[in-house]
Amino acid sequence: MSTTTYIDPSRLEAIGSTHLRARSVVEGVITGLHRNPHKGSSVEFAEYKEYAPGDELRHIDWRAYARVDRYYVKQFEDETNVRGYLLLDASGSMSFSFEDAPTKLMYGSTLLASLAWIMLKQGDAPGIMTFDERPGNWLPPSSRRTQIEDICRVLDEAPGSGRTSIPSALSRIAERVYARSLVVLVSDLLDTSDEMLTIAKVLRRRGMEVVIFHVLDRAEWELPYEGLTIFEGMEGEEELLVEPDDIRSAYQAELRAHCDRIQAACTSSDIEYFRTLTDQPIEGVLLKLLRGRLKK
């Protein structure tokens, strides 16, 4: 699939709600990359599906057949299904955007909603938690039919204000994760502490799959401003008046070193790390993740 078929990130806001944006993104992602809907009969009933050749006859619901004269098969959530714990940084810095790019919060919301949609289609159970300085709204993992609407509702309510504390969010999730879980963090990681990386490594050592999406605006990456500029902190920091030309080289070197340090720490601990700018199509980011998981 050519990247020319992807949604232009500058159009995301015009699409409307997170639900609509995510559906549009998923329609642009190559399907069938990771089809693994583990279904069994050992645990909770999930839903009905119309019978297809190859389905087990013992799971046919004969009462449904008597009512509608069609064969339906009961499906059950198997304990081998992946539970996804999706974490969105909803702090003040995530509300930043430059020119036509979406905010990091909108980009991250669309990314996680799209991933949740894909997980549900393959039989997995995603959940969502937003956070700033403290853990915020929380929706436990589930594969029920209404889960994507509930996830998008939580994402649409993300505040995009306040300070950031990634360790508090990861610690809360560490208390709740089960075996065969996927933990996905979306954040700009502007204030990444050793504690945050330590908790992520602990989750990985406990057998969880951990994925970090590092989302930045291109203006943060390149510092394109010209002339005397006032920079305003979005999480309570004081204003700073500087000449961008005087600090650009040092700033870029510091930011790249910061990103390289995070990536190196993730690589050494078998944590998947993806850095993306908000003017890059989300479909491409998701395909990198899905193709990497297929190779595994």
Quote the domain boundaries for residue 68. Answer: 45-76
**Secondary structure (DSSP) of the chain:** --GGGSPPGGGHHHH-SHHHHHHHHHHTSPTTSS----B-SSS-EEEEEE--TTS-GGGB-HHHHHHHSS-EEEEEB-TTSPEEEEEEE-SGGGG---TTSPPHHHHHHHHHHHHHHHHHHTT-EEEEEEESSSEEEEE-----TTHHHHHHHHHHT----S---HHHHHHHHHTT--SSEEEEEEE--TT--HHHHHHHHHHHHTT-EEEEEEEE-HHHHH----SSEEE--SSSPPPEEE-HHHHHHHHHHHHHHHHHHHHHHHHHTT-EEEEEETTS-HHHHHHHHHHHHHH-
40 within domain boundaries: no
Confidence grade of residue 106 (pLDDT, cut at 50, 70, 90): very high
pLDDT at 64 exceeding the cut of 80: no
In this structure, the answer to whether residues 249 and 186 fall within a common structural domain is: yes
Confidence at residue 294, expressed as pLDDT on a 0 to 100 scale: 66
Identify the pLDDT of residue 1: 36
Same domain, 161 and 239: yes
Tell me whether residue 295 is in a domain. no
Query: Within 13 Å of residue 106, how many CA atoms lie on the same side as its CB?
Result: 23
Q: Are residues 204 and 152 in the same domain?
A: yes
Residue 41: per-residue pLDDT: 40
What value does the mean pLDDT take over residues 137-147? 93
Region 17-45: mean pLDDT is 61
259 and 122 within one domain: yes
What confidence score (pLDDT) does residue 296 get?
61
pTM: 0.79
- Give the mean model confidence (pLDDT) for residues 41-68: 61
CA atoms within 13 A on the CB side of 156: 14
**Measured distance CA(40)–CA(267) in Å, rounded:** 35
The whole-chain average pLDDT of the chain stands at 84
* φ, ψ at 80 (rounded to 5°): -85, -5
What is the per-residue pLDDT across 171-218, written as a single tens digit (0 to 9) for each? Answer: 999 998 877 799 999 999 987 788 999 999 999 999 999 999 999 999
Residue 188 lies in a domain: yes
Q: Is residue 196 domain-shared with residue 57, that is, in the same domain? A: no
DSSP per-residue string spanning 202-262: HHHHTT-EEEEEEEE-HHHHH----SSEEE--SSSPPPEEE-HHHHHHHHHHHHHHHHHHH
Q: How confident is the model over 42-67, as a mean pLDDT?
A: 61
Name the burial class of residue 93, with classes exposed (0-12), middle (13-18) and buried (19+) by CB atoms within 10 angstroms of its CB. Answer: buried
Least confident range of 8-17, 187-196, 205-214, 237-246: 8-17
- Looking at the structure of the chain, the number of domains it has is 2
Residue 209 lies in a domain: yes
Using one digit for the tens of pLDDT, what is the confidence trace for 144-153? 989 999 999 9
Percentage of the chain beyond pLDDT 70 is: 81
pLDDT of residue 219: 95
Q: Are residues 49 and 93 in the same domain?
A: no
Q: Who has greater pLDDT, 129 or 232?
A: 129
| 142 shares a domain with 59 | no
Question: Based on the domain organization, do 184 and 50 belong to the same domain?
Answer: no
Same domain (yes/no): 91, 70: no
Residue 278 lies in a domain: yes
71 with 144, same domain: the answer is no
For Cα atoms 158, 145, 123, give the angle at the middle one, nearest 5 degrees.
100
Q: What is the mean pLDDT of residues 222-244?
A: 84
Same domain as 201, residue 161: yes
